[in-house]
Amino acid sequence: MPSRTILILGGGIGGLVAANELRRLLSREHRVVVVEKNTDHAFAPSFLWLMTGDRRPEEISRDVQQLVRKGVELLHGEALGIDLAAHRVETPAGSVTYDFLVVALGAELAPESIPGLAESAQMFYTFDGAAKLHNVLRDFSGGKIAIVVAALPFKCPAAPYEGAMLIADLFQRRGLRDKVDLHLFTPEPLPMPVAGPELGNAVRKAVEDRGIAFHPLQKLTEVNPATRKISFEGKESFTYDLLIAVPPHRSPRVVREAGLANQAGWVPVDSATLATRDENVYAIGDVTAIPLPGRWKPDVPLMLPKAGVFAHAQALVVARRIADRIAGKAARDKFSGEGYCMLEAGEHLAGFASGQFLAEPSPQIKLRQIGRSWHLGKVLFEKWWLAAPGVKKETLRLLIELGGKALRVPAAIG
Ligand X SMILES: Cc1cc2nc3c(=O)[nH]c(=O)nc-3n(C[C@H](O)[C@H](O)[C@H](O)COP(=O)(O)OP(=O)(O)OC[C@H]3O[C@@H](n4cnc5c(N)ncnc54)[C@H](O)[C@@H]3O)c2cc1C
Task: Give the residues lining the site for ligand X (CB under 6 A).
Answer: 10-15, 35-38, 44-45, 47-48, 78-79, 104-106, 124-125, 155-156, 159, 252, 254, 285-287, 306-309, 311, 341
Between 231 and 243, whose beta carbon lies closer to ligand X? 243
DSSP 230: E
Residue 51 near residue 133 (C-beta atoms within 8 A): yes
Least Å from the CB of residue 413 to ligand X: 11
Between 196 and 351, whose beta carbon lies closer to ligand X? 351
Least Å from the CB of residue 26 to ligand X: 20
Category of 87 on φ-ψ map: left (φ > 0), alpha (ψ -120 to 50) or beta: left
Least Å from the CB of residue 307 to ligand X: 4
Between 231 and 335, whose beta carbon lies closer to ligand X? 335
Least Å from the CB of residue 234 to ligand X: 28
Inter-helix orientation angle 13-25/308-326, to 10°: 30
How far, in Å, are 93, 298, 346, 355 from residue 403 at the CA level?
44, 40, 21, 18
Between 231 and 303, whose beta carbon lies closer to ligand X? 303
Least Å from the CB of residue 91 to ligand X: 8
The C-alpha atoms of residue 335 and residue 315 are separated, in whole angstroms, by 9
Residue 114 near residue 34 (C-beta atoms within 8 A): no
Residue 255 near residue 261 (C-beta atoms within 8 A): yes
Between 245 and 307, whose beta carbon lies closer to ligand X? 307
Residue number, nearest CB to ligand X: 12
Least Å from the CB of residue 347 to ligand X: 18
Between 64 and 326, whose beta carbon lies closer to ligand X? 64
DSSP 200: H
SS3 breakdown of the chain: % helix, strand, coil, rounded to 5? Answer: 35, 30, 35
